[in-house]
């Protein structure tokens, strides 16, 4: 290993260590967040999943807690709808307010139920509900399940959502804002939320390793 490689690894390790040693989140909470990032569809990192599940079990987490992270992370694909449906409404010259004004009793009740179970509402839900009530109702029941029977603290669920919404592979800005606000409303501190972002912002050393491995193969040819 050359001096350049050694100095790079030290700097990358220092960055990761700074995020990990931040005391705002407990080790358990850090692994919950990083498991969400590893498990979600935008990242899907089997090695990361195995590493964080093992760490959580070593920390005394229950199987129920671990599986709840997987359940929460499974909803990421709904962003196809929360981005796509408003774009469709804009193309059709339909506003969220106009769509909401046309809600019948069934849609109004679905909206009310979501607000009670999830504690918030957004215009993209208005548009999705307006276009496809059965789909939204099924999604609302699924996404609310962990909130009804789960064991994580409510603010920890919001941190888990941030774990995949703020991941470099996804960076879903509407969700980042919503879940950061929800987390604080439920008791999370700014420092805890900031620590989520620093955990996700460490160096991607795999990029360096891949380039270094290819360079070594070229040198051997």
Per domain, the residue ranges of the chain are 3-220
Q: Are 148 and 141 in contact (CB under 8 A)?
A: no
Q: Could you give the CA distance from residue 166 to residue 161 in angstroms, rounded to a whole number?
A: 8
Q: What is the pTM of this model?
A: 0.94
Q: Could you give the CA distance from residue 132 to residue 147 in angstroms, rounded to a whole number?
A: 23
Can you name the CATH fold of 3-220?
AhpD-like (1.20.1290)
The pLDDT of residue 4 is 60
Give the Å distances, CA to CA, from 193 to 16, 34, 92, 101, 177.
17, 13, 37, 36, 11
10-residue mean pLDDT series, the chain (221 residues)? 75 97 98 98 97 98 98 98 98 98 98 96 98 98 97 98 98 98 98 98 94 92 80
Q: Are 43 and 71 in contact (CB under 8 A)?
A: no
The pLDDT of residue 6 is 84
Cβ neighbours around 136 below 10 Å, total: 23
The pLDDT of residue 2 is 57
Residue 217 CB burial class (10 angstroms; 0-12, 13-18, ≥19): exposed
The pLDDT of residue 44 is 96
The pLDDT of residue 3 is 59
Q: Are 179 and 165 in contact (CB under 8 A)?
A: yes
| Start-end of H helices in the chain | 3-21, 27-39, 46-58, 63-73, 79-91, 96-101, 105-118, 123-131, 133-149, 154-165, 173-185, 190-200, 205-220
């Amino acid at each position: 290993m050359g001096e350049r490689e050694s100095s790079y690894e030290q700097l990358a390790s220092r960055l990761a260590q700074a995020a990990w040693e931040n005391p705002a989140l407990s080790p358990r909470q850090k692994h919950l967040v990083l498991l969400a990032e590893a498990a979600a569809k935008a990242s899907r990192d089997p090695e990361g999943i195995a590493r964080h599940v093992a760490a959580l079990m070593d920390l005394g987490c229950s199987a129920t807690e671990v599986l709840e992270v997987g359940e929460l992370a499974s909803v990421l694909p709904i962003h196809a709808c929360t981005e796509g449906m408003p774009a469709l409404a804009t193309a059709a010259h339909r506003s969220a307010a106009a769509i909401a004004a046309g809600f019948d009793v069934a849609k109004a009740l679905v909206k009310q139920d979501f607000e009670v179970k999830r504690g918030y509402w957004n215009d993209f839900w208005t548009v999705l509900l307006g276009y496809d009530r059965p789909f939204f109702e099924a999604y609302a029941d699924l996404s609310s399940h962990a909130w009804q029977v789960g064991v994580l603290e409510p603010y920890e669920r919001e941190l888990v959502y941030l774990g995949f919404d703020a991941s470099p592979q996804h960076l879903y800005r509407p969700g980042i804002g919503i879940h950061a606000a929800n987390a604080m409303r439920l008791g999370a501190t700014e420092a805890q939320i900031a620590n989520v972002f620093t955990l996700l912002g460490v160096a991607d050393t795999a990029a360096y390793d891949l380039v270094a491995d290819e360079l070594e193969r070229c040198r051997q040819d």
